[in-house]
Amino acid sequence: MAGNKLNKNNRPAATITNQEKTLKGSDFIVSKTDTKGVIIYCNQIFTSLAGYSASDIIGSNHNLIRHPDMPRLAYKIAWDRIKAKKEFFGFVKNLCADGGYYWVFAYITADLDNNGNIIGYTSVRRKPPQSAIHTITPIYQKLLDAERRGGIDASQKLLDDMLNKQGVSYDEFIITLQKDIKV
């Protein structure tokens, strides 16, 4: 029952720690949600990394594993893309039930019915290269600081300015970082 499910507001407050869990190069973390982001399927690697049972996770909103170090802008970009039936790629730091974290390179896309209507979303995640995490961590910190000062408009402007300066699109920037993978 949805009312019994965990969400980031009613889950037991775990102390955030610096305990990192890492994926193997062969791991794929998979989850599927309904149109609102409520999880309807996840694979075993998802549950073991996040530290929840499948019955805790199924029926919970995906923000169950949202990490406070992540800027809101990352999720806004994701939702804007997938609602428009475009693919999203990005680096995401996720929260484990015990307060630890794990980084992923995430792909999210809409699931369509025969008429092209969105009926849910699917995400597949892989191990990101350490160099990408090294690059993205201070950028997310700056975006988070901008959000605290001036909201999501401020972090969007910061990201746009950074990408313009480098002359790349968001997708080009992200894919370049992921290509550095050594597993």
Residues that bind ligand FMN (CB under 6 A): 31, 33, 37, 62-63, 65-66, 75, 92, 94, 108, 121-123
Using the minimum distance from each CB to ligand FMN, give the nearer residue, 11 or 168: 11
The span from the CA of 148 to the CA of 71, in Å, is 10
Least distance to ligand FMN, CB of residue 60, Å: 10
Residue number, 24 or 76, with CB nearest to ligand FMN: 76
Rounded Cα distance between 10 and 6, Å, is: 6
DSSP string, 121-150: EEEEEEPPPHHHHHHHHHHHHHHHHHHHHH
To the nearest whole angstrom, how small is the minimum distance from the Cβ of residue 105 to ligand FMN?
A: 11
Nearer to ligand FMN, 63 or 166 (CB): 63
**Least Å distance between CB 175 and ligand FMN?**
19
Q: Which is nearer to ligand FMN, 65 or 146 (CB)?
A: 65
Q: Least distance (Å) from ligand FMN to the CB of residue 123?
A: 4
Nearest approach in angstroms of CB 110 to ligand FMN is 9
In 10 A of CB 59, how many CB atoms? 17
Among the listed residues 101, 102, 122, the one whose alpha carbon sits nearest the alpha carbon of residue 111: 122
**Based on CB atoms, which residue is closest to ligand FMN, 30 or 168?**
30
Separation between Cα atoms, residue 47 and residue 29, nearest integer Å: 9
Close Cβ partners of 178 (under 8 Å, ≥ 6 residues apart): 89, 105, 128, 129, 132
Q: What minimum distance in Å lies between the beta carbon of 45 and ligand FMN? A: 12
Other Cβ atoms less than 10 A from the Cβ of 132: the count is 19
CB-wise, 112 or 166, nearer to ligand FMN? 112
Which amino acid is it at 34? Answer: D
